[in-house]
Structure 1
Amino acid sequence: MTSLSGSGLQTSKVPAARVTELAARLQREIAGEVLFDAASRGRYSTDASIYQVMPVGVVIPRHQHDLQVALDIAREAKVPLLARGGGTSQCGQTVGDALVVDTSRWLNQVVEFDPEARTVVVEPGMVLDDLNRWLKPHGLWFPVDVSTSAQCTIGGMAGNNSCGSRSIHYGNMVHNVLGIEALLADGSQGYFGFLHELPASERMRELARQVQRIAEREQPNIQEHFPKVLRRVGGYNLDLFDCQNQRPYDPDGQVNLAHLLVGSEGTLGVTRRIKLRLSPLPRHKVLGVVNFPGFYQSMDMTQHIVKLDPTAVELVDRTMIELSLENPAFRPVIEKALIGQPDALLLVEFAGEDAGELRRQLDRLSELMADLGLPGSVVCMIEGAEQTALWNVRKAGLNIMMSMKGDGKPVSFIEDCAVPLEHLAEYTAKLTEVFHKHGTEGTWYAHASVGTLHVRPILDMRRDGSDKMRAIAEEASELVRAYKGAFSGEHGDGICRGEWVAWQFGPQLNAAFKEIKQLFDPDNLLNPGKIVDTPRMDDHSYFRFPRTYQPIPVTPVLDWSGWDVLRDPLTGEQSAPGSAGDPTGGLIKAVEMCNNNGHCRKFDAGTMCPSYRATRDEQHLTRGRANTLRLALSGQLGSEGLASEDVKAALDLCVSCKGCKRECPTGVDMAKMKIEARAAWASKHAIPLRERLIAEMPRYAPYARHLASAVAAVERVPLLSRWVKRRLGLADQRALPSFVGNFLAEASDTGSATQTREVLLFVDTFNNYMEPENARAARRVLEAAGYRVHFNQAPGQRPLCCGRTYLASGQVGKAKAEAKRALEHLLPFVERGVAIVGLEPSCLLTMRDEFLRYGYGEKAVVLSKASFLFEEFLLREHQAGHLRLDLKPLAETRALLHGHCHQKAFDALRPVEQVLRWIPKLEVRTVETSCCGMAGSFGYEREHYEASMQMGELALLPAVRKAEADDLVVADGTSCRHQIHDGAQRTALHVARVLERALA
């Protein structure tokens, strides 16, 4: 057990000298990474639970030999070992005072595949979505489709006995695992499978005999105490030896010893490889979304809906609906599923080979609901895209629930109690009464089809939350017992439910579980304290926020008001009036919004998190950064707070893409947090020359264009060019910035003074001095559309600037000053109805984002609402019937579009797609990419060039290279165009230039 000592990291029970020796041996003997520094340990001290336990150290094995060596060294040093995958466990299974072994980075390959037998063998770090993408061309999939499929690993799923939304049809993990190759605590290797497949080693044969002996001895207790529900994952699966031939795990009745390891949470062995049973991909799917006016109705009617033989019936409650409507990524999706203002939704899916039959099943669903008194309550979704979008909202359910602001959060501890379906409505009603008794409310979602609802009472774990947690758990357990259900139905035992194993199974079976643990792991080295000999669920020494937790004083440079809102969990009303108005409050609360669920570890779509996609390193992940910031702001990494070296290192590869702002369901805005961290660093350290040159670019750009010929001359002399770039810290492979013009110096307001339609074109530094042809094109298009065009330059003053270049170096004061200049000049235009239109996404969208956090109040809000990207403005005017643009076909017939990260963060990419499609005969294809990797000056910096190119090579640059020579490549971002030029030797155009070419 560990404890939190006021400020500073938790301390380990392992003696310091032994830890030092362990770290040294690991460094010498394995090829992978060995991490024993405080920040790295802190990043692995949490999972998606309420707990925090500092590991002894972290090992990231590069290959299977490393895994073996790490176990051998830990055993010889008598240091516990904890194998970990995605770190998404919700009960504390993957945290402990042990050597943590992260298999997700390198041990993630397909080892064997037999499409005829429908089996696959994978390493434990293989992510579920990656496996299913690999299997899709073969018409197969692994159907245990848990909500964290984009980040959870197969090894972790086996350890937890994961279930998924479609378990009513496909079963749980234990029904789909055929074999496990594992390392045992004594260092030996063993294959666990069907009894006839077991290796001839005496160790394996003896283990099988002893487990069978225990199981046969405990048959009466197994029959009496093992819950008779599909969803039960507590304890060890001793019922795999069922002497009454009622084996629940294999359809042909064979005993498979691997099923003992499934759900064992890494306490019996360390998984090397897993053999899985696969299923054919269903040819068609349809989805019926049933809208219920009352929550109780939805629970009561589930038992009737499952008789229609659906593949899934999933609940979305009112709280989740409302939070989804507040999230810009989920709002348009959830709106399509609603009829009025329902109190709950049931997502009912049918899958099969006959599309016509599936539609008839939807008709039967609608008829059933009419018979039950709810006619017209079903939204039918036939198209795959809309089904997938809604399932993604449901899969993000946990994170959506955790997006509540303030100290009160939905807490997981009775989250997946499972009861027989006929008792589900009554159970939820009585549990709601328990919540109200303790002054709180619960959030509900998930697997209605199998009687497992993820319910989380809203508690403040910093105050009296742990006391209420204990009381609610005790009352909930009585309800579960009365309905003959399972206290642990899906997410395992871990720290949270470990103490309830004995309650669920009785003292004799609990003793049998201890006997099995002793048989496999006599020295208690494998993930100790889980399943047997567990701590209390409310032991504060294990909490992420124990009573001693105290943030250090900090004065933010941005306005974080709104993040520290305290709300009454029953009424939803703000219970601390005025707290949200403190502009210096809320920073630590915003950081703590990260619940560690790991949604940022995805690779399938979206922007988040580009640095992790390139490195697969927890440090360079939104979750890893948020953990680092939380540890720093609570004094657990020392007294430096945000100005610490650990924070600087964690944010080093953050490209401020703002992908997390939109895609993180709990709203962790790492780009904004990076501004705070950079400002804190700048307050204590000198700003290097390179950063000062980049920050001050808008000021010296008017003069730099006179040096264009000198810069060109430098570039023509390779030795001189390399010397200059290295002195400035720039990458040799990049060209020095070239300032070629000054558009605003030659521009003046255009159009007739009698024209009533006006627009102000905000020309940023890059498009003014480096690529003035974009500004000229935008002006021409706007003029052709009938607008009088104004510009962002006051007479006798330098051009207005968004101030963004100052933010990267932490000079927030200067950025605020630029924002103030912009507000003073632009607001008179806005007040008379003139829209502010920009070309560079990162600049214009600064007015919609950072300007709101500078403390300028309503003025900034007014400007934000009047600010549009060029294509957004054109689309708005088109939809209002104001736009007159006569466009002709181009010589090119295809366009490949890359979206700037900030466009995607603000849902501003779709307007680009739409306006390009105005051009006759032009086919537009958008590249599904994360960040291009240039990210402003990031890709120019010498130490970041390699990471920059890795990001670009993930999707964007290969897609551009594959494009035909006569295809248009379109990118609105200045840095994106430069990355495409440098990495793929293609010229990308701003959408304004494409439209200009198409003007009739």
Structure 2
Amino acid sequence: MTSLTDKTQSRDAKVKPVTELATRLSRELAGEVLFDQASRGRYSTDASIYQVTPVGVVIPRHQADLGLALDIARDAKVPVLARGAGTSQCGQTVGEALVIDTTRYLKEVIEFDADARTVTVEPGIVLDHLNAWLKPHGLWYPVDVSTSAQCTIGGMAGNNSCGSRSIRYGNMVHNVLGVEARMADGSEVAFGFVDRLAEGSPEQRLAAQVKAIAERVGPEIREHFPKVLRRVGGYNLDLFDCQNPKPYDPDGRVNLAHLLVGSEGTLGVSRRITLRLSPLPTHKVLGVVNFPTFYQAMDFTQHIVELDPTAVELVDRTMIDLSLENPAFRPVIEKALIGKPEAILLVEFAGQDEAAQRQALASLNQLMGDLGLPGSVVDMPEAAEQKALWNVRKAGLNIMMSMKGDGKPVSFIEDCAVPLEHLAEYTDKLTQVFHRYGTEGTWYAHASVGTLHVRPILDMRRDGAEKMREIAEQASALVREYKGAYSGEHGDGLCRGEWVAWQFGPTVNDAFRDIKQLFDPENLLNPGKIVDTPKMDDSRYFRFAKDYQAIPLTPVFDWSAWNVKRDPLTGDQTPPGSGGDATHGLAMAVEMCNNNGHCRKFDAGTMCPSYRITQDEQHLTRGRANTLRLVLSGQLGDEGLASDDVKEALDLCVSCKGCKRDCPTGVDMAKFKIEARTARARAMGLSLRDRMVGEMPRYAPWASRFSGLLNGVERVPFLARRVKQVLKLAPQRALPVFDGNFLAAAEAPNGIAAGAREVLLFVDTFNNYMEGANAEAAKRVLEAAGYRVHLNVKQGQRPLCCGRTYLSSGQFDKAKAEARRTLEHLMPFVQRGVSIVGLEPSCLLTMRDEFLQYGFGDEARALADAAYLFEEFLVEAMAAEQLPLTLKPLPHKRVMLHGHCHQKAFDALRPVEQVLGWIPELQVETITSSCCGMAGSFGYEVEHYDASLKMAELSLLPAIREADSDAVVVADGTSCRHQIKDGSGREAVHVARLLEQALDVS
């Protein structure tokens, strides 16, 4: 029997070496060293179904750090796992090893030769960033994978990535010219063309040994290596096969770097990678072919590729339906549809000659007519439409994973590749396999090369693992029947590693093992991948195993909508709430994050401002979702949402709701933060600052009566400094200025005239007590349009409030009470068809968002449907010909428009652009920016002041400083206006103020 002392000694025996490793790494490296449980948990997953906790994490600051980390790990006999963005879908980037994350610092362009069309980069550079750097030179790196906004060149090389346009440009291996790598023994080796290797060099000796292994198994290579373009399993030993046409290099030369491409970090760690570039096409056209049946889409692909397109990409009915449910994707996908197709193919033609591409598009239309589907093509010759639709296609994986419920599309056979002539038959038979196991598959991706990403819908918490094994075995039989590749794009990893021997046979598999032994004799580089791998259904590595469950807790919001059960064959859903308790619903909402890393982006959309300034996984939407998932499942202790780990992970979340819109699976971190803040407040209590922020709507009436006294505090430096110190406010910020009480002074309409057009102007705390001129302007504009304007206050009562300040400070019960009071007062107006119009985006949009999860039922939905931002209402009224406004030119001819985060999240910024466009002679420039960084009280808080300004400096403040001095800055958000004032000295105004100035009352 093992005693407690024995167990303690055993644990200490394991912990001590790890502690010593962490200590040495921290002492000798300039970069970050992360060995805490939460950080390791955030790096324990990638975009696969697996979870393996690493030993620790290192983020090297420079190449010397990278070398030191490898040396220290080798001395400690600790395996090493090089990792980029962590977007691998087969488990390549998880393992019980020291993870080395190259994405924060090792991302430079080292050398560039425009004439030779080559570039050398560090492994952590993101593909989209590289292509943005290359664009002015008329070049690009054409391996355009769907995760291009976040994936790194190092990760792409490790996986031998392919992309949508591989039919024209080939895979990663066809576009890599050289790799400088750090080997397991610490040596640095430059892999390149064998005929250029110096006589007697380590590189040449390695090449000779690899060649000998390859020649030894030459007949087996020729027999077992798939002949399709999309083949990325195992090691690329066929590069030395003299009887093959040297598929990896267009000139037929042998390049030892091609052995490292697709090796998943098991042979060396890349330091620098040299790439072959291609001319950037100047003209593109897109034809979207609509098919009445999925089978036809697959069958006709072989004919379409004869037209020499650059891409032929599939989107199936499931993905179409899910895209239609997403507010960001719906208007885009609708333009591509004719009726209700079962599948569409995106067929692109690209080149330097515009006329040639348009002729190719015409040929596509003619071909479809010849094949019996006339009028089935939606022509998209314009670049903007094409880009929008490609973005939907690129989000395919995330869109598929947006299914609510326990059943999810699971990746394990998703990129089997078969010859095009067999594609329709293969997909039909595989669908029959799915049906035998009571499920359906989701299909999308690269029809042009016979690689379709298919994911059967399985519940891994129940019988998913057993079904996965059965389906994989039957799918492999089909792949063998059609002489295809079991791994056609996404690599082997934990998911397909065991199938390497099946695909290539025992002799070649032994040769792979010899290669691994040659390069890494101590098995320290990403062990358990490609050779000597675990079984794909080894439950020890599953993220969601059968014993996975959420810890008991009671969420404050109603998460029952995430408890749906979906029939995988029909798509039918059970009523919300029948799939589990409240805890389960919250957990399911958190688990909507599939780890694909769509949030790791810098140059588009709102998401995620805190990651953009820190580039830290902890402050990424994915990192936060992983932290919450680990907490909710008890893997980070039993404190639940009140834990320090959750507080730290959410510390820089500004509740911008960018993820609500930009995340294709709809992860709503702002709402999770409300849950966490509430749990923390209930467990730890509230600070004075929290109370001051939350209670502002209650003390604002009193503050407005004594505004002269309160506003004078800022003029007494000692007093202002002391107040800010007590409240822990940034000394650089000016205290809010109270300015009257608009609602108390405004005149309400008397009675309701028959047939009168009515509207209720919801004036929030900020626009009532601090900037009443905005409310006055909005009221004047509405009255000028002939509306009877009601206000959100009754005589003798405190004005209605959305409760946003309470939500942000963790006072959920008070927020809900305010929401209930508001709902009860507004329902009579809503029931008789009166629109509720608000000025402050964060307040009004609370009615369209959080109000729906309080459990208020149909009344909340009715209010949400009736609630409009000021500009949204004007646009709707104009469209209904119920806005007889006459506007005149303004002295200012140019506007710089900044959108509030919540406006962007709810697609409510376009109406602001539209109403500004009504003012004659006015030029409007919308600033491309993420969050301004103020985010309510966030930018006032002393510990967040620096982060707040960094967010603003990403693009907002530089754009305003560069603007002409006579340009008007428009920002609807109170916080945004304050940040702009503090950061640039410019006064920003609400759009209502400009419209009021432009009223032509003559």
Provide TM-score, normalisation by structure 1.
Answer: 0.98
Matched, 1:866 2:866: yes
Work out the CA distance in 2 between the residues paired with 1:643 and 1:715.
Answer: 36
Cα 1:583–1:494 change in 2 (3 A) is: closer
Work out the CA distance in 2 between the residues paired with 1:349 and 1:877.
Answer: 40
State the AA in 2 paired with 1:733. Answer: Q
- 1:155 matched residue in structure 2: 154
- 1:904 matched residue in structure 2: 904
Q: Are the equivalent residues in 1 in contact too, given 2:437–2:467 (CA < 8 A)?
A: yes
Work out the CA distance in 1 between the residues paired with 2:912 and 2:200.
Answer: 64
- 2:939 matched residue in structure 1: 939
Alignment of 1:353-372 (within 5 A): 353-372=352-371
Work out the CA distance in 2 between the residues paired with 1:293 and 1:516.
Answer: 49
Matched, 1:718 2:717: yes
- 1:92 matched residue in structure 2: 91
Q: Are the equivalent residues in 2 in contact too, given 1:751–1:787 (CA < 8 A)?
A: no
Alignment of 1:189-588 (within 5 A): 189-198=188-197, 202-244=201-243, 246-574=245-573, 579=578, 585-588=584-587
- 2:38 matched residue in structure 1: 39
- 1:799 matched residue in structure 2: 799
CA offset at residue 711 of structure 1? 4.0
State the AA in 2 paired with 1:151. Answer: Q
CA offset at residue 554 of structure 1? 1.3
State the AA in 1 paired with 2:258. Answer: H
Q: Are the equivalent residues in 1 in contact too, given 2:60–2:102 (CA < 8 A)?
A: yes
Matched, 1:187 2:186: yes
Q: Are the equivalent residues in 2 in contact too, given 1:559–1:584 (CA < 8 A)?
A: no
- 2:82 matched residue in structure 1: 83
Q: Secondary structure at the match of 1:579?
A: coil
Cα 1:753–1:408 change in 2 (3 A) is: closer
Work out the CA distance in 1 between the residues paired with 2:244 and 2:820.
Answer: 77
CA offset at residue 894 of structure 1? 1.2
Work out the CA distance in 1 between the residues paired with 2:719 and 2:699.
Answer: 23
Q: Secondary structure at the match of 1:403?
A: coil
- 1:740 matched residue in structure 2: 739
- 1:177 matched residue in structure 2: 176
Q: Are the equivalent residues in 2 in contact too, given 1:88–1:597 (CA < 8 A)?
A: yes
Q: Are the equivalent residues in 2 in contact too, given 1:14–1:79 (CA < 8 A)?
A: no
Work out the CA distance in 2 between the residues paired with 1:667 and 1:235.
Answer: 36
Q: Which moved more, 1:522-531 or 1:723-732?
A: 723-732
Q: Deviations over 1:154-196 (max 9, x none)?
A: 0000000000000000000000001111100011111111124
Q: Deviations over 1:221-270 (max 9, x none)?
A: 11111100000000000111121251011011111111000000000001
- 1:970 matched residue in structure 2: 970
Q: Are the equivalent residues in 1 in contact too, given 2:563–2:576 (CA < 8 A)?
A: no
Q: Deviations over 1:663-704 (max 9, x none)?
A: 111111111111111111111111000011000001101111
Q: Deviations over 1:522-542 (max 9, x none)?
A: 000000000001000000000
Work out the CA distance in 2 between the residues paired with 1:206 and 1:14.
Answer: 40
Q: Secondary structure at the match of 1:513?
A: helix
Work out the CA distance in 1 between the residues paired with 2:835 and 2:956.
Answer: 32
Work out the CA distance in 2 between the residues paired with 1:165 and 1:930.
Answer: 29
Q: Which runs of 5+ in 1 are unaligned?
A: 1-10
- 1:3 matched residue in structure 2: none
CA offset at residue 709 of structure 1? 3.5
- 1:758 matched residue in structure 2: 758
Work out the CA distance in 2 between the residues paired with 1:610 and 1:998.
Answer: 35
Q: Are the equivalent residues in 2 in contact too, given 1:748–1:790 (CA < 8 A)?
A: no
- 1:994 matched residue in structure 2: 994
- 1:616 matched residue in structure 2: 615
- 1:6 matched residue in structure 2: none
Alignment of 1:602-641 (within 5 A): 602-641=601-640
- 2:119 matched residue in structure 1: 120
CA offset at residue 580 of structure 1? 5.7
Q: Are the equivalent residues in 2 in contact too, given 1:311–1:349 (CA < 8 A)?
A: yes
Q: Are the equivalent residues in 2 in contact too, given 1:194–1:254 (CA < 8 A)?
A: yes
State the AA in 1 paired with 2:447. Answer: A
Work out the CA distance in 2 between the residues paired with 1:563 and 1:870.
Answer: 32
State the AA in 2 paired with 1:51. Answer: Y
- 2:675 matched residue in structure 1: 676
- 2:142 matched residue in structure 1: 143
CA offset at residue 723 of structure 1? 2.8
CA offset at residue 13 of structure 1? 12
Q: Secondary structure at the match of 1:444?
A: strand
State the AA in 1 paired with 2:323. Answer: S
Cα 1:199–1:636 change in 2 (3 A) is: farther
Q: Are the equivalent residues in 1 in contact too, given 2:444–2:453 (CA < 8 A)?
A: yes
Alignment of 1:687-702 (within 5 A): 687-702=686-701
Q: Are the equivalent residues in 2 in contact too, given 1:291–1:377 (CA < 8 A)?
A: yes
Work out the CA distance in 2 between the residues paired with 1:55 and 1:342.
Answer: 45
Q: Deviations over 1:187-222 (max 9, x none)?
A: 111111112443667432221110111112221111
Q: Secondary structure at the match of 2:477?
A: helix
Work out the CA distance in 2 between the residues paired with 1:751 and 1:986.
Answer: 40
- 1:958 matched residue in structure 2: 958
CA offset at residue 604 of structure 1? 2.3
Work out the CA distance in 1 between the residues paired with 2:750 and 2:152.
Answer: 61
Work out the CA distance in 2 between the residues paired with 1:700 and 1:687.
Answer: 17
State the AA in 2 paired with 1:947. Answer: A
- 1:4 matched residue in structure 2: none
Work out the CA distance in 1 between the residues paired with 2:470 and 2:582.
Answer: 37
State the AA in 2 paired with 1:362. Answer: L
State the AA in 2 paired with 1:917. Answer: G
Work out the CA distance in 2 between the residues paired with 1:69 and 1:13.
Answer: 26
- 1:917 matched residue in structure 2: 917
Q: Secondary structure at the match of 1:247?
A: coil
Q: Which runs of 5+ in 2 are unaligned?
A: 1-9
Q: Secondary structure at the match of 1:881?
A: coil
Work out the CA distance in 1 between the residues paired with 2:686 and 2:64.
Answer: 45
Work out the CA distance in 2 between the residues paired with 1:867 and 1:582.
Answer: 31
Q: Deviations over 1:417-469 (max 9, x none)?
A: 00001000000000001101111100000000000000000000000000000
CA offset at residue 596 of structure 1? 0.3
Work out the CA distance in 1 between the residues paired with 2:743 and 2:706.
Answer: 19
Cα 1:982–1:463 change in 2 (3 A) is: same
Cα 1:200–1:632 change in 2 (3 A) is: farther
Cα-Cα RMSD: 1.4
Alignment of 1:60-71 (within 5 A): 60-71=59-70
Work out the CA distance in 1 between the residues paired with 2:605 and 2:176.
Answer: 31
Q: Which moved more, 1:505-514 or 1:187-196?
A: 187-196
Q: Secondary structure at the match of 1:871?
A: helix
Matched, 1:660 2:659: yes
Work out the CA distance in 2 between the residues paired with 1:678 and 1:993.
Answer: 35
Provide TM-score, normalisation by structure 2.
Answer: 0.97
Work out the CA distance in 2 between the residues paired with 1:119 and 1:577.
Answer: 55
Work out the CA distance in 1 between the residues paired with 2:426 and 2:790.
Answer: 65
- 1:768 matched residue in structure 2: 768
State the AA in 2 paired with 1:689. Answer: L
Work out the CA distance in 1 between the residues paired with 2:278 and 2:534.
Answer: 39
Cα 1:538–1:131 change in 2 (3 A) is: same
Cα 1:323–1:45 change in 2 (3 A) is: same
Q: Deviations over 1:788-818 (max 9, x none)?
A: 1110111110111000000112111000100
Work out the CA distance in 2 between the residues paired with 1:916 and 1:13.
Answer: 67
CA offset at residue 495 of structure 1? 0.2
Q: Secondary structure at the match of 1:274?
A: strand
Q: Deviations over 1:854-883 (max 9, x none)?
A: 111111111111110000001110000010
CA offset at residue 73 of structure 1? 0.4
- 1:8 matched residue in structure 2: none
- 2:3 matched residue in structure 1: none
Q: Secondary structure at the match of 2:455?
A: strand
Q: Are the equivalent residues in 2 in contact too, given 1:12–1:55 (CA < 8 A)?
A: no
Q: Are the equivalent residues in 1 in contact too, given 2:707–2:740 (CA < 8 A)?
A: no
- Aligned-pair identity (%): 76
Q: Deviations over 1:587-620 (max 9, x none)?
A: 0000111100000111221101111111110000
State the AA in 1 paired with 2:907. Answer: D
